[in-house]
Amino acid sequence: MSTPVPPQPPARPRLGVFKFASCDGCQLTLLDCEDELLGIAAELEIAHFLEASSEPAPGPYDLVLVEGSVSTPEHVERIRRIRADARHLVTIGACATAGGVQALRNYADVDGYLATVYARPEYIETLATSTPISAHVPVDFELRGCPIDRGQLVEVITAFLAGRKPAIPNHSVCFSCKRRGNVCVTVAHGTPCLGPVTHAGCGALCPTYGRGCYGCFGPAGTTNLPALVPLMQRDGMSEEDVGRYLHTFNVTAFTAVEEQELPGTTDGEGLG
Amino acid sequence: MSDSTPRSQELRIPSLARVEGETALHLRIHDGTVIEARLKIYEPPRFFEAFLRGRAHTEPPDLTSRICGICPVAYQMSACRAIEDACGVVVDGQLAALRRLLYCGEWIESQTLHIHMLHAPDFLGEDDVIGLSRLHLEHVRRGLRLKQAGNAVVELLGGRAIHPVNVRLGGFHRAPTRAELRPLEERLRTALDDAWDTVRWVAGFEFPDAECDADLLALAETGTYAIESGVPTVLPYSATSPPYSFPLRDFTDHVAEEQVAHSTALHSRLDGRRHLTGSLARWAVSGRLLSPLALQAAREAGLGDPPSHAGAGRGGEVCRNPYRSILVRAVEVLYAVEEALRIIAEYERPARPYAEVPARAGTGHGATEAPRGLLYHRYTFDGGGRVTDACIVPPTAQNQGAIEEDLRRLVQAGLDRGEGSEAELTRLCERAVRNHDPCISCSAHFLELDIERIH
């Protein structure tokens, strides 16, 4: 999340897209850029993108987009090899930036999970945790969202091509709601909403459709959970409900915020 | 990676491209005979069925949509149906129509993605859609436009194309007004022409001979081509066995999952036999319920007339050639565009966007036709509406056995023709897998072909 993408990429830079534990939705977002796809392909050589092309070319790559979390011993090795081949590495989506929904295992008994899903757990190789890419290798930029937003993805690629920092604001969903002219669902209807603490990017979709934000873009740059949690409880959620709400698609990221802001309220046990 | 005997050989494909997910293949060849073809799906386990436990009854639609970014609506719809079944609620009228409209949007965009970006390059000797665009720009542009039309439907109704936010138990958080749906009409009318042109385009492809030796399983619905509901119906491969249906609540008695050592996806068998779900199965079971326009397109595409009565007798043509599944998909896209237009034309905004679905203890079953096949969900809830057990049977896990048998036959035929090189077998196997539009995140991302030739 720290280093800006440096200037002056070469004439036709090489793009690599790689997948770890995930649903494919964030890399699919690239194929969902119907209006921009052929333009992107003209500016970038799509060297490695398994979901789209059957002729993957070896690195090095100028820009690597990584989807998915690290959840097997093989992943740990593979992300290091990919990083070594990548001039700039950008993670796309909640799995790659916060471990994803599968990080719910981090707070549970994975052997119990294995036994629930598989009759013969001994056949399955998995780590006890699902971790973001940045836990293993340096990352140049993290794009939030479950899934990422198409417009933000195009902005990241454009910024890379232009050699500038992506203009991705760090503020909360509340800002997007105001900009869209939405009536606040919490103030007007008492609907519990994570908008005040959630990173912008979706365009305030949930409030626009009359539901409370469920935090799929992870925590915003600044959050005030101690103020928000009592408000959600006032609107009818139990402490457990609030916990489950925060601990879903960006479980590790919101847990980190909680540990910072609400000391003693999270023991890391029994989530979900 | 090689056997020491002269007739032994192993071959690895480092990655299967243009599918959704990661998988590997192990072939055992003895003296020119394929003994076994095993598809090794090793998508890292993500434990959905485990972490759904303890969640509120309202949560599985949003949670399970994250199983797959390519068919999130299918997950949301199967989950809603299962939970509503457990709670004794039936969603009907305009809310049911809106659900079908949303699902039509996913059918249009997901099947168009597979047709143009993943499958067509195989028929035209290209590696990807970018290569395709150099030679066939018009077709690629049309595909992108068609896909965009599907995405526009999902985005308008669901908020976004991937993991839509507007779906909830009992219906939607917000139902659109008639005026809001109107802009879709113009786009869909263009899409209708694009869908026709797509059928004609794929009908011109060259289709190798092949037959999938498996029972066909799809949902059947009274009076309409089943998409978002229906009764599991089987067209057995054996010509002497009549078609039959079974109640959805008995699904796991008929479709039994078993774990095998080589795959993280569970294998399943239908009444002890190999089976296939997806476009070929839907055509066989419900084809006769397609619209006149779609049936005309199917005839033009060379699919003939579908079987006349899946529930009673035979007649008409069952298509068992997996290469030709692209034709059925193209016809289904045309149908979905027409359906979307019909639903919009008949739409009246409901008084409330959803029916209440109060929690209660019990078990519920839900199945819908994901673009790539039948997707079954079952949930059990305690008195507080918490999930105590979840069971999800995705289409690709069901199709795995049939895909393996396909691979075995195709590789054998390839070997018999003298196509034994690594490159030839790899190409053959990759095509064979892509024919089935596998959705491996629903269970993986790597095809590693590993051919072992033993003495």
- For A61-71, the pLDDT digits (tens) are 999 999 999 99
Cα–Cα distance between B78 and B392 in angstroms, integer?
A: 9
Q: Mutate which of A22, A24, A173 to test chain B, going by most B C-beta atoms within 10 A? A: A24
Residue B256's nearest CA partner among B370, B84, B401 is B401
Q: Which residues of chain B have pLDDT under 50?
A: 1-6, 310-313, 443-449
Helix axes A251-261, A239-246, angle to 10 degrees: 130
Give the torsion sign (CA, B12, B18, B23, B26): negative
- Is residue B67 packed enough to be buried (19+ CB in 10 Å), middle (13-18) or exposed (0-12)? buried
Judged by DSSP in three states, B68 sits in coil
Closest-CA distance of chain A to residue B310, Å: 35
Cα–Cα distance between A73 and A65 in angstroms, integer?
A: 21
**Beta-bridge mates of residue B172:** B167
3-state secondary structure A33-96: CCCCHHHHHHHCEEEEECCCECCCCCCCEEEEEEECEECCHHHHHHHHHHHHCEEEEEEECHHH
**Mean predicted lDDT score pLDDT of chain A:** 89
Q: Which residue has the higher pLDDT, A113 or A239?
A: A239
Number of Cα atoms under 13 Å in the Cβ half of residue B314: 13
Helix axes B325-345, B279-286, angle to 10 degrees: 60
- Is residue B360 packed enough to be buried (19+ CB in 10 Å), middle (13-18) or exposed (0-12)? middle
Interface contact A188, partner B, CB < 8 A: no
Tokens of B207: 């289709």
Interface contact A34, partner B, CB < 8 A: yes
Q: Is B265 left (phi over 0), alpha (psi -120 to 50) or beta?
A: beta
By percentage, how much of chain A surpasses pLDDT 70?
90
Judge contact between B429 and B13, C-beta under 8 A: yes
Residue B240 CB partners (closer than 8 Å, separation 6+): none
Residue A72's nearest CA partner among A26, A9, A114, A115 is A114
Judge contact between A258 and A225, C-beta under 8 A: yes
Which chain B residues are within 8 Å of A73, Cβ to Cβ?
Answer: none
Q: How many CB atoms lie within 10 A of CB A157?
A: 23
* DSSP conformational letter for A217: T
Q: Mutate which of B13, B42, B47, B130 to test chain A, going by most A C-beta atoms within 10 A? A: B47
pLDDT at B297: 97
Judge contact between A104 and A77, C-beta under 8 A: no
pLDDT at B11: 54
Judge contact between A28 and B69, C-beta under 8 A: yes
Judge contact between B115 and B198, C-beta under 8 A: yes
Tokens of A51: 């979901």
Cα–Cα distance between B369 and B110 in angstroms, integer?
A: 13
Judge contact between B377 and B16, C-beta under 8 A: no
User: Which residue type sits at A54?
Assistant: S
Gyration radius of chain B over CA positions: 22
Taking CA atoms, B427 is separated from B363, B407, B424, in Å, by 45, 11, 5
Interface contact A182, partner B, CB < 8 A: no
Judged by DSSP in three states, B160 sits in coil
pLDDT at B4: 38
Interface contact B95, partner A, CB < 8 A: no
Cα–Cα distance between B330 and A2 in angstroms, integer?
A: 46
Cα–Cα distance between B300 and B316 in angstroms, integer?
A: 15
Arithmetic mean of pLDDT, A7-17:
77
Cα B310 to chain centroid distance, Å, stands at 20
Residue B169's nearest CA partner among B102, B238, B103, B76 is B76
Cα–Cα distance between B145 and A34 in angstroms, integer?
A: 7
Number of Cα atoms under 13 Å in the Cβ half of residue B109: 28
Q: What is the pLDDT of residues A140-193, one digit of tens each?
A: 999 999 999 999 999 999 999 999 999 999 999 999 999 999 999 999 999 999
Judge contact between B406 and B432, C-beta under 8 A: yes
pLDDT at B276: 96
Arithmetic mean of pLDDT, A201-209:
97
3-state secondary structure B193-231: HHHHHHHHHHHCCCCCCCCCCCEEEEEEECCECCCCCCE
Tokens of B294: 């779609």
Closest-CA distance of chain A to residue B158, Å: 9
Tokens of A133: 């890419």
Interface contact B146, partner A, CB < 8 A: no
User: Which residue type sits at A194?
Assistant: L
Cα A94 to chain centroid distance, Å, stands at 2
ipTM score of complex? 0.90
Tokens of B310: 């899946």
CB contact under 8 A, A205 and B159: yes
Give the torsion sign (CA, B57, B59, B61, B67): negative
Cα–Cα distance between B167 and B148 in angstroms, integer?
A: 20
Q: How confident is the model at residue A108 (pLDDT cuts 50, 70, 90)?
A: confident
Cα–Cα distance between B275 and B279 in angstroms, integer?
A: 13
Q: Mutate which of B51, B167, B447 to test chain A, going by most A C-beta atoms within 10 A? A: B51
CB contact under 8 A, B430 and A21: no
User: Which residue type sits at B26?
Assistant: H
3-state secondary structure B354-386: ECCCCCCCEEEEEEEEECCEEEEEEEEECCCCE
Indicate the pairing of strand B171-172 with strand B449-454: unpaired
Nearest to B69 among A24, A206, A241 (CB): A24
Taking CA atoms, A90 is separated from A53, A71, B440, in Å, by 20, 18, 24
pLDDT at A3: 62
Residue tagged 């992300």 (tokens)? A79
Tokens of B441: 């995140």
Residue A52 has pLDDT above 80, yes or no: yes
